[in-house]
């Protein structure tokens, strides 16, 4: 018999068990999931007057839901005003929006203007529950808090126009008139013909197409998309000159000479509840189709105007023309050499207010 002790023992190899491998895989997936979640989860907003948050320097009103809304007044005192106008600023803007209306003009016609920081912008509290519908009642409540009376006018600018459309839908009885200035289009409004809206959508830069798709279909990924560094995400936030036309550049040159001491406050509470929430609401599923609205001024006691720049690269004029055809009670004004910044042009800004408040026919188009 062989002496087995002379032979070295074979090494014993053990393979990880099936359960151990599954456990390790699950652990890796959990770590990756946690990393992805942290990348997608936006940081909490830095609410004004909260510990560590920005301080408030502007007058504010408290809304029924407890939030505070910051506002700014100009023109004649509201007690003496013939026309009381609420201006709704656009994307990445604030109550300090530049409106080149002279004090002399506002005094001549008795114009009072109030602008306000929309939710999450400037010094107004964020509203994670913000919707197109809720914006109309915020405007109505602001008017009541400031005692503007039973009727007031609304001027919407760019993306801020989803609030103006909401006013036409939900509080038409409070309106003396509405001006929709370069209103941003929601490409998912059901009344648009598919071919028309697809052609307009494809004119947008690829980065902006993806931004809009995510805002509409996957809003939970909005923070991740806007903060990732692999691909360009938003032409406007990049201040890409491709979005401006020649008239816009002249307007920007004029604006650069105007002191803007509060510009740094626009995003001071964080970009999620200001910029990103704005995109999610504006390009999400609306509670109504604007092209099914009825004329709120059938007794000739007011008017609705839509102002569009023919050379606006952000908002396609073809879709605005279609809206004006579907809603013939809207008075459509197309500025031939206008871009997206037409309200900041002194002559056009004055024409917008004159046509809305005085019923004058614009002569500059």
Predicted pLDDT of residue 118: 98
Neighbours of 226 (CB within 10 A): 19
Sign of CA dihedral 322, 323, 329, 331: negative
State the pLDDT at residue 66.
97
Where residue 214 falls (left for φ over 0; alpha for ψ -120 to 50; beta otherwise) is alpha
Q: What is the pLDDT of residue 14?
A: 53
| pLDDT of 4 | 46
The pTM assigned to this predicted structure is: 0.89
- Angular region, 276: left φ>0, alpha ψ -120 to 50, beta rest: alpha
Burial (CB count within 10 angstroms: exposed 0-12, middle 13-18, buried 19+), residue 294: exposed
Tokens for 271?
């970009």
Q: Evaluate the CA torsion angle 10, 12, 15, 19 in order and state its sign.
A: positive
CA distance readout (Å), 307 to 51, 146, 161, 199, 281:
43, 28, 12, 21, 22
- Measure the CA angle with vertex 170, ends 164 and 171; round to 5°: 80
Rounded Cα distance, 121 and 160, in Å: 12
**Could you read off the pLDDT tens digit of each residue along the chain, which spans 365 residues?**
445 445 455 555 555 565 555 555 555 555 444 444 455 688 999 999 999 999 999 999 999 999 999 999 999 999 999 999 999 999 999 999 999 999 999 999 999 999 999 999 999 999 999 999 999 999 999 999 999 999 999 999 999 999 999 999 999 999 999 999 999 999 999 999 999 999 999 999 888 999 999 999 999 999 999 998 888 778 888 778 889 999 999 999 999 999 898 999 999 999 999 999 999 999 999 999 999 999 999 998 999 999 999 999 999 999 999 999 999 999 999 999 999 999 999 999 999 999 999 999 987 66
Alpha carbons within 13 A on the beta-carbon side of 362: 20
**Which residues are CB-neighbours of 145 under 8 A, at least 6 positions away?**
61, 63
pLDDT, residue 95, reads 98
Q: Which of 175, 112, 111 is nearest to 140 (CA)?
A: 175
pLDDT value at position 229? 85
């Amino acid at each position: 018999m062989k002496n087995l002790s002379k032979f070295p023992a074979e090494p014993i190899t053990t393979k990880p068990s099936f359960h151990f491998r599954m456990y390790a895989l699950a652990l890796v997936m959990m770590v990756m999931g946690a990393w992805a979640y942290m990348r997608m989860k936006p940081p909490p907003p830095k609410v004004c007057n909260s510990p560590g948050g920005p301080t408030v320097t502007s007058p504010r009103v408290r809304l029924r839901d407890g939030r505070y809304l910051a506002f700014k007044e100009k023109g004649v005192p509201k007690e003496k005003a013939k026309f009381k106008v609420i201006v709704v600023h656009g994307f990445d803007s604030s109550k300090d929006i530049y409106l080149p209306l002279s004090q002399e003009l506002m005094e001549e016609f008795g114009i009072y203007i109030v602008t306000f920081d929309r939710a999450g912008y400037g010094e107004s509290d964020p509203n994670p529950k913000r919707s197109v519908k809720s914006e109309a009642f915020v405007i109505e409540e602001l008017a009541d808090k400031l005692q503007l009376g039973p009727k007031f006018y609304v001027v919407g600018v760019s993306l801020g126009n989803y609030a103006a459309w909401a006013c036409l839908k939900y509080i038409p009885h409070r309106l003396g008139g509405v001006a929709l200035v370069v209103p941003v289009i929601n490409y998912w409004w059901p009344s648009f013909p598919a071919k028309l809206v697809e052609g307009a959508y494809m004119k947008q830069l690829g980065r902006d197409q993806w931004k809009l798709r995510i805002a509409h279909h996957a809003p939970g990924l909005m923070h991740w998309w806007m903060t990732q560094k692999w691909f360009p995400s938003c032409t406007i936030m990049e201040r890409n000159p491709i979005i401006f036309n020649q008239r816009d550049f002249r307007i920007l040159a004029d604006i650069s000479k105007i002191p803007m001491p509060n510009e740094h406050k626009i995003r001071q509470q964080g970009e999620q509840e200001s910029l990103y929430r704005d995109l999610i609401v504006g390009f999400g599923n609306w509670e109504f189709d604007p092209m099914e609205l009825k004329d709120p001024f059938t007794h000739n006691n007011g008017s609705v105007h839509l102002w569009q720049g023919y050379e606006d690269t952000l908002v396609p004029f073809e879709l605005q023309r279609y809206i004006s055809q579907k809603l013939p009670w809207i008075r459509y004004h197309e500025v031939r050499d206008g871009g997206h910044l037409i309200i900041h042009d002194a002559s056009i800004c004055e024409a917008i207010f004159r046509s809305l408040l005085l019923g004058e026919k614009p002569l500059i188009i």
